[in-house]
């Protein structure tokens, strides 16, 4: 009898050890996620696609709270996503028909000076195509360089950015600034701002349900999408969920033309962007009396180390890619 009991105990221990091993194999952790990401890279998936998969699986990991992934847990997770989608669709139906020129709210982002709030983001509806709408943030939500790595060979940090912009402006107007002063080429495809918008910003501003409504868009970076008098290369076309408008799009939706002040293209930075040292000009204000600022476009500037911006007076301008005083007005297409 003792031998039977010992065998039974031994079998139970062996079964429990195997069960524990199986359970461990079904727990999602950071190590498994990194292994999954490596496999995607080996399959040569795009960086934007990889980041989207990473966000999805990391959210599921948080949902599991370190527990073993079971069929029941997977069903609960899917149901939670479906509930979020239902609530989101209900909110969108209340705001239909998404007429061009109207303002809607979608997502949340800090907008107060302290940066601890989660204020609904206001968006201008620029276009409507069937069940999709093109949105542009009403305000400058944050401040970032177009490309964070300062271009090698530049002088020390400029303490008089206004005079620097004035000098560059004169060169541009005289068509004397034809070639890159610093040598490094910057395009939308490779700039750090594109990566930030499609990773840090999208995660901070939108829930997973909201992210699923954002279309992965084909983004035109051809020469014709920029200001054609600037003989610079826009780089390869890209696919992005979040992007910046091109010069051609600003011209289409706001009537933007070179060297013309344009009240329609003015924007004010939020208090959050101002505390991050967004550049503003007290000589120009929005209809509501707020000081206006610079905001980035994705198009290249007049030299390959610069990018296009809209100035506080609504004019097109070219600014060094590493300048960190221009606002960010994200744009996106959503399913409605």
Q: Is 171 exposed, middle or buried (0-12, 13-18, 19+ CB in 10 A)?
A: middle
Among 114, 110, 109, smallest CA distance to 242 is for 109
pTM of the model: 0.69
DSSP structure class, residue 182: S
- Cβ pair 123, 103 in contact under 8 A: yes
Cα 300 to Cα 229: distance, rounded to the nearest angstrom:
11
DSSP structure class, residue 214: B
- Cβ pair 135, 128 in contact under 8 A: no
State the SS3 of 220-244. CCCHHHCCCCCCCCCCCCEEECCEC
Among 224, 235, 206, 221, smallest CA distance to 135 is for 206
What pLDDT, on a 0 to 100 scale, did the predictor assign at position 33? 83
What pLDDT, on a 0 to 100 scale, did the predictor assign at position 53? 77
What pLDDT, on a 0 to 100 scale, did the predictor assign at position 142? 98
Task: Tell me the HSE value of 40 on the side-chain side, using a 13 A CA sphere.
Answer: 17
What pLDDT, on a 0 to 100 scale, did the predictor assign at position 223? 94
Cα 294 to Cα 325: distance, rounded to the nearest angstrom:
7
What pLDDT, on a 0 to 100 scale, did the predictor assign at position 78? 81
| Strand runs labelled E in the chain | 103-109, 119-129, 132-137, 142-143, 217-219, 238-240, 280-285, 291-293, 295-300, 306-310, 316-320, 327-328, 331-335
What pLDDT, on a 0 to 100 scale, did the predictor assign at position 11? 42
pLDDT tens series, the chain, 336 aa: 433 344 334 444 443 444 344 445 678 888 888 888 888 888 877 776 787 778 888 888 888 888 888 888 888 888 887 777 666 656 555 545 578 889 999 999 999 999 999 999 999 999 999 889 999 999 999 999 999 875 444 444 444 455 555 555 555 445 444 444 444 689 999 999 999 999 999 999 999 999 999 999 999 999 999 999 999 999 999 999 999 999 999 999 998 777 788 889 999 999 999 999 999 999 999 988 999 999 999 999 999 999 999 999 999 999 999 999 999 999 999 998
Cα 53 to Cα 172: distance, rounded to the nearest angstrom:
43
- Cβ pair 327, 296 in contact under 8 A: yes
What pLDDT, on a 0 to 100 scale, did the predictor assign at position 184? 66
**Could you give phi then psi for residue 315, rounded to 5 degrees?**
-80, 155
Among 207, 221, 215, 147, smallest CA distance to 182 is for 147
């Amino acid at each position: 009898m003792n031998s039977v009991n010992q065998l039974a105990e031994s079998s139970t221990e062996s079964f429990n050890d195997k069960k524990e091993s199986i359970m461990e194999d079904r727990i999602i952790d950071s190590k498994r996620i990194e292994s999954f990401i490596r496999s995607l890279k080996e399959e040569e998936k795009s960086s934007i696609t990889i980041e989207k998969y990473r966000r999805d699986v990391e959210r599921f990991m948080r949902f599991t709270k370190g527990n073993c992934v079971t069929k029941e847990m997977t069903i609960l997770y899917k149901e939670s996503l479906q509930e979020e989608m239902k609530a989101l669709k209900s909110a969108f139906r209340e705001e239909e028909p998404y007429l061009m020129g109207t303002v809607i709210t979608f997502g949340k982002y800090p907008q107060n000076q302290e940066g601890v709030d989660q204020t609904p983001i206001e968006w201008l509806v620029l276009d409507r195509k069937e069940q999709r709408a093109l949105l542009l943030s009403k305000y400058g939500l944050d401040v970032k360089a177009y490309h964070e790595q300062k271009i090698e060979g530049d002088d020390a940090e400029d303490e008089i950015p206004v005079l620097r912009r004035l000098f560059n402006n004169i060169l541009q107007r005289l068509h004397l600034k034809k070639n890159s002063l610093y040598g490094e080429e910057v395009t939308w495809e490779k700039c750090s701002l594109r990566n930030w918008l499609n990773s840090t910003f999208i995660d901070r501003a939108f829930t997973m349900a909201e992210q699923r409504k954002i279309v992965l868009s084909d983004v035109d970076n051809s020469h014709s999408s920029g200001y054609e008098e600037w003989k610079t290369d826009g780089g390869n076309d890209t696919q992005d969920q979040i992007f910046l408008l091109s010069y051609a799009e600003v011209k289409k939706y706001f009537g933007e033309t070179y060297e013309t002040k344009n009240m329609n293209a003015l924007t004010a930075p939020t208090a959050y962007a101002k505390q991050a040292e967004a550049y503003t000009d007290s000589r120009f204000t929005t209809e509501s009396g707020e000081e206006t600022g610079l905001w980035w476009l994705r198009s290249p500037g007049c030299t390959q180390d610069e990018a296009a911006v809209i100035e506080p007076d609504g004019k097109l301008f070219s600014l060094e890619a590493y300048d960190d005083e221009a606002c960010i007005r994200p744009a996106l297409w959503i399913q409605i």
